[in-house]
Chains A and B, each alone.
Chain A
Amino acid sequence: MALHTLMFGWEYPPLHSGGLGVACQGLVRGLVQAGVHITLVLPQAGVEGEENVEVLSPELCSILRVRSHLRPYETPERYAARLQGSPASATEELYGWDLGDAVESFASLSVELTKHTNPDVIHCHDWMTFEAGIRASRHHHVPIVMHIHATEFDRTDFHPNEWIAQHERNGLLLADKVIAVSNYTKRLLVAHYGIPEHKIAVVHNAHDPCLCSHTQIVSQRGVRRPPIVLFLGRLTIQKNPWQFLEVAHRVHQLRPDVQFVMAGDGPMLSELIERAIELGLHDCVVFTGKIQHDEVHALYRLASCFVMPSLSEPFGLVALEAIAHGTPVVLSKQSGASEVLTHCFKVDFWDTEKMSDCILTILRDPPLAEQLRSEAPRILKRLTWQTQATRVHALYESLL
């Protein structure tokens, strides 16, 4: 009999804003291939049908649309308020007490909806689904696995909202096993949440080749365009876009021909635009705002260099996507991706000078760029969702 997992997700393509949804989908597909039967519970309606996966979208839409306010850094002002940290009032102001209500109703409705599913194991992704997972685990008397894609510490430059961090901590302590997406995240869970090391397994995220399979071969003959240095991510403090501008500023001083593209949306957009003007980069930085998949692929392919300067990045799937498109990568050492990527430059997130130096070296030396383009993608052959799902499957087995 196939092993049955009751999984609680939060976001899922195409309704997603970050890596959590992509990773969740990749893992689900990998597990299905590994012969695991999955019942997936998602808070949004309108999820595309996934083959061999039972997708349950409880009648939560109205509540869960409200829940979208959960997303951190909705506006810079709110973000600033959080940084200054006035725990009690900030929580109320930021999330409102309906956050607790929302989590509570998602949990009870989900459990009600799945009470006859008869799973072997519960698997939930990030803190918002913990409560539902814990109740389901108690109801079915089966073990619970909690998968951490990001913590409150990552999202807030280590100025966590205490209510959320406490919620994360309480959940994690109750888990039978915790999956961290990197050793970086594992260390963080041990240091900041006091989770025992032996309870945490590391399963790195993987790359789904379907995401960039439609490679177009475009003739570059006679085409002369300025080199592009690309940033792609939500414009929030965690992704460190401010640093990207500082780096761009340094690169610009030596190579005024270089264009910088900041792809993505987020609460820091307006202050970043102001900063770019302040630095005299108005002619060479392009802010794309939110962009579609096709545009993302095109940008990766056009870019001479992709930069991921994140402050604290549990994994950083964009780095895998960049190398899948053959783009040379410079990434923050404070990331999970830096544990699995080898053919790239790794720099401390705060080291503006070195980051710009690596970019300039890639732009200057074609043999280096060529080698990074050709060698880096090899890792993707090993790092697939099939192999990572096998690890998760083995972890389930160990709990039964």
Chain B
Amino acid sequence: MAPLVSLYFQVHQPYRLRDLRITDIGRGDPDYFDHEKNRAVFRKVAEKCYLPTNQLLLELLTNYPDFSIAYSLSGIFLDQCEEFGLDVLDSFRALAATGKVEFLAETSSHSLSYLKSLEEFCEQVQEHVERIGQLFGKTPHIFRNTELIYCNELAEVARLLGFRGILAEGADHLLRGRSPNRPYVPPAFSLPEEWKRTIAEHRPHRAVSKRMHVLLKNYRLSDDIAFRFSDKSWVCFPLNAETFSDWIASCEGHSVNLFLDYETFGEHQWADTGIFDFLRALPKLWQEHGVRAVTPSQVIDLWNGPDDTFDAHTFLSWADTERDLSAWQGNRIQQAALDTLYSLERAVKEQGDTQLLKAWRRLQTSDHFYYMCTKWWNDGDVHKYFSPYDSPYEAYRRFSHALCDLRTRLRSPRATDGQARLRQSDA
């Protein structure tokens, strides 16, 4: 029997920092972000990806009854929609109105907060769930953490927040020969009482979820589209929709989970690669093969197999070949920046200034730390690196200035370790 397909798209754009200078610090809330650049990038991606892809998917959702999709729209992306692209927001609303689109929950700032502060993490998830409800009239029941960062503990936290499913990377070393094409369950264990209290305070759902399922990304088939589609050196190039549908139909298991960055369509893979024609052809072919495209919630609804445990003791993500956290906290400047940022949490929140809180949260976006990554730097292979800045050090310089300024805006700056480190030099 043909498996189900679950198509999920991550939609996100960071707020890039402007070329801040040390002399800007303490001048009274300067703007940290490069609005011109952010607008330009957003509009470019809107024209190349969001608008045409949304239009195409609207047609497909309307025409094919067995075709559904899921999105996770980061809060930072939604902010930019409101700032630079109400047309984009409207096109997502039109998709939501088909009733065949599931919206997933994530941290509103597309942040790494789970690694640093449970309270901040829960607040952001709560905020995001509420916002999706307001904008699209839907309540997310499935959670996906930033960049698919995942571990056992997080699955339990998500369950206590009321979610019934969570997404993760189908990493080979954890699957150990098992198929990613079926839901798994996390190992059962108990969190500290203090954690439970924090989670309960911010739970966006009425009750905790009784069951929790982990849906795993089929990274081979996902990456065939996301990375290899236009790779001329790939043995399967050019990939056509027929071949890809055959691969899906011949897959064993319950559901093939294709998790993709939305920018794959039109931005990472340009229109002239044929990516839109490829996408357009899929629902019809899947229908012929008896493959139904369903939402992550439906994948769980339709599952009645035996439980099997997906055991992630350490953190997992969908980034790079390492699939760990090294892309965001692999070096000293990343760690220093993260530590300092989160050391300000209490002081920022006590101040009760919404503008300050907003600025602090925008600095939490994972991209800021990704841009400081130096993993491949020693190999001289700068091409693998994607950043709006000249170098990881430029990314750090701008970020560090923003943090220093943020600290000057605090009424009662608390000297924590991280703060002290950035506050003054060794002088």
Contact = CB atoms under 8 A, between A and B. Distances in A.
A233 B427 CA distance: 27
Contacts of B426: 227, 366
A374 to B, nearest CB: 8
A257 B427 CA distance: 8
Interface in A357-373: 357-358, 360-361, 363-368, 370-372
A388 to B, nearest CB: 14
B303 interface: no
A80 interface: no
A379 B378 contact: yes
Interface in B365-396: 374, 377-378, 380, 382, 390-391, 393-394, 396
B343 to A, nearest CB: 13
Given A227-B427, A367-B336, A360 B22 contact: yes
Interface stretch (A188-196, A266-274, A341-349): A341-349
B422 to A, nearest CB: 6
A368 B391 CA distance: 13
Contacts of B380: 340, 342, 379, 382
Contacts of A397: none
Describe B's contact surface by its main secondary structure. Answer: helix
Interface string A359-400: 011011111101110010011001000000000000000000
B333 interface: yes
A365 B374 contact: no
A200 B393 CA distance: 32
Given A342-B378, A367-B335, A353 B21 contact: yes
Contacts of B335: 367
A22 B390 CA distance: 31
B421 interface: yes
B400 A345 contact: no
B421 to A, nearest CB: 6
B422 A344 contact: no
Interface string A323-355: 000000000000000001011111000000110
B378 A365 contact: no
A254 interface: yes
Contact of B397 (A257, A342, A361): A361
Contact of B400 (A342, A365, A372): A365
A226 interface: yes
Given A368-B336, A368-B393, A363 B425 contact: yes
Given A361-B400, A367-B421, A379-B378, A372 B393 contact: yes
A257 B394 CA distance: 25
A363 to B, nearest CB: 5
Contacts of A340: 380
Given A364-B424, A365-B400, A371 B333 contact: yes
Interface in A241-256: 254-255
A365 B331 contact: no
A360 B21 CA distance: 10
A382 B21 CA distance: 34
B332 A367 contact: yes
B399 to A, nearest CB: 10
A343 B400 contact: no
Interface string A302-318: 00000000000000000
Q: How large is the interface on A (under 10, 10 to 19, 20 to 34, 35 or more residues)?
A: 20 to 34
A227 B424 CA distance: 13
A346 B374 CA distance: 16
A366 to B, nearest CB: 6
Q: Which of A346, A354, A372, A375 has the most CB of B within 10 A?
A: A375
A255 B427 CA distance: 10
Interface string B288-320: 000000000000000000000000000000000
Nearest to A360: B22
B405 to A, nearest CB: 13
Interface in B398-426: 400-401, 404, 421-422, 424-426
A375 B374 contact: yes
Interface string B345-374: 000000000000000000000000000001
Contacts of B396: 361, 365, 368
Nearest to A227: B427
Contacts of A345: 391, 393-394, 397
Nearest to B20: A357
Nearest to B418: A367
Contacts of A378: 378
A346 B22 contact: no
Nearest to B339: A367
B421 A366 contact: yes
Given A345-B393, A353-B21, A364 B425 contact: yes
Contacts of B19: 354
Interface in A81-99: none
B427 A226 contact: yes
Given A342-B391, A343-B393, A365-B333, 11 more contacts: A226-B427, A254-B22, A344-B393, A354-B21, A361-B22, A363-B427, A365-B422, A366-B421, A371-B332, A372-B393, A375-B378
12 contacts: A227-B427, A254-B23, A342-B382, A353-B21, A357-B21, A358-B397, A361-B396, A363-B427, A368-B393, A368-B396, A378-B378, A379-B380
Interface of A: 226-227, 254-255, 257, 340, 342-346, 353-354, 357-358, 360-361, 363-368, 370-372, 375, 378-379, 382
Query: Closest 10 A-B residue pairs measured CB to CB?
Result: A367-B336, A371-B332, A367-B332, A364-B425, A342-B377, A360-B22, A361-B397, A363-B425, A378-B378, A357-B21
